[in-house]
Amino acid sequence: MFLPPGENNPLDGGRLLRALLWKVKGDLPAATRAASRVGTGFAFVLIALGGVLAAVSYAHWERNERAMRLGERLPHSPIPRVVAAVLALSALAALVLTIVDLVQS
């Protein structure tokens, strides 16, 4: 059954990765360290993406403020389309995982 990662979920992604690595490597401590590094790396990627989004949003806000002050047209922003695309792809991935889970069980 597909279960998203979570604090109260005993089959979250980190434990599944650790179990997979343990089966492949045959070494539980090494699998635990590797799964921990993957989780830490994923956290850093999410933090970096949040920082990039904040910087891009701030720059766009400054352009909007300048345009309004000068009575110009507001500049186009690609951010809503990017966010919508990421959400749509995430929803599609969740749908595919759910269907695969239903077929396997």
Q: Dump pLDDT digits (tens) for 14-66.
A: 788 888 889 998 999 999 999 888 888 888 998 999 999 899 889 999 999 99
- The predicted pLDDT at position 10 comes to 52
pLDDT of res. 7: 52
Give the pLDDT score at 88.
95
pTM, two decimals, is: 0.60
Residue with tokens 């910087």: 55
* pLDDT tens digits for range 57-96: 899 999 999 999 999 999 888 888 988 999 999 899 888 8
Q: Domains of the chain: which residue ranges?
A: 13-104
More confident: 6 or 74: 74
